[in-house]
Amino acid sequence: MIDFYFNGSPNPTKVALFLEEAGLEFTPHPVDTRAGDQFKPDFLKINPNGKVPAIVDGETVVFDSNAILLYLAEKTGKFLPPTANKGELLSWLMFVATGIGPYSGQAVHFKHFAPEKIPYANDRYQYEVLRHYEILENHLDGRHYMVGDTYTIVDMSLWGWARMIPFKIGDNAWADFPNVKRLVDEISARPAAVNAVALKDKYPFKATMDDEARKIMFKHIAK
């Protein structure tokens, strides 16, 4: 049985998608980051970085969403492309990990949560998010999936973030990325994706981003 530490943000949701797709048995452990659960000593023993997701699989502990996806894919032999495409798989998986995820997170922060509006920071991260999605859009032109001809962990990793493009960029964001939207819509319609998104609704996560939550999540403003 896999212990899965999560909340409803993009990175845990893509791991939930794999668990559902692969039919793996798991025990969910909600980590309410707006209440500070990620900094409790028991969780920091699992992930010293104090972030979700993380899994405990017997004696094995894995944190960082893309590391978890790769671990689970190799453990089960599922949602991997042919061996000849492994380099491509790793490249795009790291593209999401080092580009899409971090820039998306900062774009959301400066657009919605920063205590003061900083036009340069907002413009910088909005530009980088758009640049990264343009790369994905071009890559998906004439392709059904990100790597080869099969649905893989790269598609899952991309879906976790891409399904929230309007929140990151704006309501009209999809107009510039029809290929990405087509892939996101296809994955979102899968029963496993529906279950993955709904998992958070079974637990009482704090819904409001109030001053207390900001001090917990953005510790630099509490100094």
Q: What is the pLDDT of residue 154?
A: 98
Task: Note the pLDDT of residue 29.
Answer: 98
d(CA 193, CA 101): 19
Across the beta sheet with 54-57, what order do the strands follow?
Answer: 26-30, 2-6, 54-57, 60-63
All structural domains of the chain, each given as residue ranges with its CATH number in brackets, are: 2-78+195-222 (3.40.30.10), 83-189 (1.20.1050.10)
Per-residue burial over 27-63, b if 16 or more Cβ lie within 10 Å, else e, is: ebbbbbbbbbbbeeeebeebbeebbbbbbbbeeeebb
Distance CA 123, CA 118 (A): 9
| pLDDT band, very low/low/confident/very high, at 116 (cuts 50, 70, 90) | confident
d(CA 145, CA 162): 14
Three-state SS for 62? Answer: strand
pLDDT, tens digit (0-9, with 9 covering 90-100), for 80-90: 999 999 999 99
Rounded-to-integer distance, Cα 66 and Cα 54, Å = 11
pLDDT per residue over 174-218, tens digit each? 889 999 999 999 999 999 999 999 999 999 998 888 878 878 877
Q: Is the pLDDT of residue 26 over 70?
A: yes
Mean pLDDT of the chain: 93
